[in-house]
Amino acid sequence: MEYFSLPLVLREGYLSRTNLEDSIIYSVGLIISTRIGQMPFSPEYGCDLWEKEYSDLMTAKTADIRAGLRNSIDKFEKRLYSVSVSFVNPKKAGSRINELIIKISGNYKDGSEEKKLEHNYKIS
C-alpha cells in the first residue's frame, strides 16, 4: 500500500508517495511540530510542547512532557501503538546543546506483520 509523503508537494500532477513506516514518521513529526490550535480544521491537533518556554523544557518534569507527547501521538496517529517517548542527550547524539532530541518508539502493523519503529526528532 502507498501513503502520501509529507510535505505534500504536487509534481507533474501527482503527489509523492511513500511507505507505511515513513508515513508514520512524517505524521508523528507533524504532530510534534504543531502547536495546539494551529490547525483550523482540527483545533485539538498538535502537542502542548509549544506552550512551554525553552527554559521550561530544561527544568520541567520530563515525565510530564513525555506524557503529553505520548498522549498526542496516541490520539492522532492510530497506526502506532505501545508508544514510548524519551529524550536523547544532545552531546551523545553529536548535536548542539540547545537542541532537544525526542526519541519516539512504538509498534505498527504492516499487513499481518508487526514492526518496530524508532525515530529521533530534533527540536531547535
Q: What is the CATH number of the domain that holds 106?
A: 3.10.450.40
Domain limits at 25?
Answer: 3-123
The pTM assigned to this predicted structure is 0.80
Q: Give the model confidence (pLDDT) of 69-113 as tens digits.
A: 999 999 999 999 999 999 887 665 555 556 778 999 999 999 999
How far apart are the C-alpha atoms of 21 and 79, rounded to whole Å?
A: 10
pLDDT band at 24 (very low <50, low <70, confident <90, very high): very high
Residue 6 reports pLDDT greater than 90: no
Structural domain tally of the chain? 1
Q: Give the model confidence (pLDDT) of 31-64 as tens digits.
A: 999 999 998 889 999 998 877 655 555 556 678 8
Give the pLDDT score at 97. 59
How far apart are the C-alpha atoms of 66 and 47, rounded to whole Å?
A: 11
